[in-house]
Amino acid sequence: MKEWTALSVVKFFCVAVMIFVHAHIVLITNSYAITDTSGFFYGITSRLMFIGLFLFTLPIIAGAILRIDFGEHIIYEKLKNYKLGKIIKTAIFLSVAGFFMNAITWGWGYTFSWNVLQLVSLSFVVIAILMKISSIRAVFFAGLIAILAAQPLRDFLGNMDYGYFASIFIGADNSYIFWPFSPWFGVVTAGFLIAHFYLKCEDSFKFRIIMTILGATLVAIAFFRGELLPYLDPLYIWAPSLFQPKIGWVLASIGLFCILIIIGNMFFNKISLKKYGIINSYSQGILWIYIAQMFVSYNLAFYIKRIFPMDKPSLAYFILPIFMLLFSWMVGALSIKFLRGKSIVVTLKKIQ
């Protein structure tokens, strides 16, 4: 199957924004809190919160990757000749990688924080099961329900103590549960469905028109609802206001992905990507870059802030973001060189 170059370009751009935003956040906060809300960095960050939409396209990209991985196993809108064990192993690996990242970055007490890798893992398994027992229509309706039910469900339940497993599905007001299944499963399914539509139509006029209209409509809905700028909580940047947002923010993330894909198809789908070039390295090494940059940027920021004051903008501010962008390129290139296309085989031998 021909590589979808536009998706690689979109991955590159969104990963680059993620790297910069994470570096920005750890520089301007202390343990993700902003003490001076009258300062320059709080003001500029609160006014540019829409940039965070690029980060929220990452689970959409994951859904698209899953559909591409299924490839020709989808026959008559159902998943055929594809063992669920494969996707379960992938989900376990992603979840364990995410828990490991939590532990080494924020400490063992945060090991089981529910982050984007755990969301993607659970979503992959649910999508695979739905495609096995039903069809792609079930995936669409399940994703739609996850988006539409999120806010009414939380309003109905109120500020209850749900417990860890229930919070995974509906969210919680704490620093452990991010990316709840509802609504974010819906954006994973959106990526899956968009990729499915692309594989059926390829870069046809029909695909471009529908994606353009859909993308512009979803972003417009968020704009007119006043939900393109979620509240920036100075007490904790990653507060529920960001990860349990109004529906407009969720729709806008899907709309942005549609627009980015169209732009990618129009201008970049015919380019040839260099194996270790920055676009291919960011795209193919997205998992390892995510884990590595979270750990490195969070810990390196402490040393940078000891040397350079962060009370005002200066050239020193750009040291960490630029370093992290280059460091992530190296991580992605190394992942291609040593891990791409290779499998790890574990053999157990009985001890005599």
Read off the pLDDT of each residue in 179-203 and give the average, rounded to a whole number: 95
Task: Please state the pTM of the whole predicted model.
Answer: 0.93
What is the predicted pLDDT for the residue at 39? 85
Q: Rounded to whole angstroms, how far apart are CA atoms 167 and 118?
A: 13
Q: Rounded to whole angstroms, how far apart are CA atoms 198 and 215?
A: 15
Is 129 a domain residue?
Answer: yes
CA atoms lying within 13 Å on the CB side of residue 40: 8
pLDDT class for 346, splitting at 50, 70, 90?
A: very low
ω into 183 cis (within 30 of 0): yes
Is 147 a domain residue?
Answer: yes
Residue with more model confidence, 303 or 160:
303
Q: Rounded to whole angstroms, how far apart are CA atoms 220 and 281?
A: 33
Cβ atoms of 24 and 45 closer than 8 Å: yes
Residues in the chain: 352
Helix 247-267, helix 136-157: angle, nearest 10: 150
Is 352 a domain residue?
Answer: no
Is 344 a domain residue?
Answer: no
Secondary structure of residue 30 in the 3-state scheme: strand
What is the predicted pLDDT for the residue at 1? 44
What is the predicted pLDDT for the residue at 316? 77
Cβ atoms of 12 and 279 closer than 8 Å: yes
Domain count, the chain: 1
Residue with more model confidence, 320 or 346:
320
DSSP characters for 99-133? HHHHHHHH-GGGTT-B-HHHHHHHHHHHHHHHHHH
Is 350 a domain residue?
Answer: no
pLDDT per position as a tens digit, 283-332: 999 999 999 999 999 999 999 988 887 777 777 788 999 999 999 999 99
Greatest Cα pair distance in the chain: 71
Helix H or strand E encompassing 284 = helix 278-284
On the 0-12 / 13-18 / 19+ scale of CB atoms within 10 A, 316 is: middle
Beta strands in 18-171 (DSSP E): 74-75, 78-79
Most confident range (mean pLDDT) of 68-72, 148-152, 242-246, 329-333 is 329-333
Is 351 a domain residue?
Answer: no
Cβ atoms of 5 and 270 closer than 8 Å: yes
pLDDT class for 189, splitting at 50, 70, 90?
A: very high
Is 246 a domain residue?
Answer: yes
Is 173 a domain residue?
Answer: yes
Domain hosting 223: range is 5-338
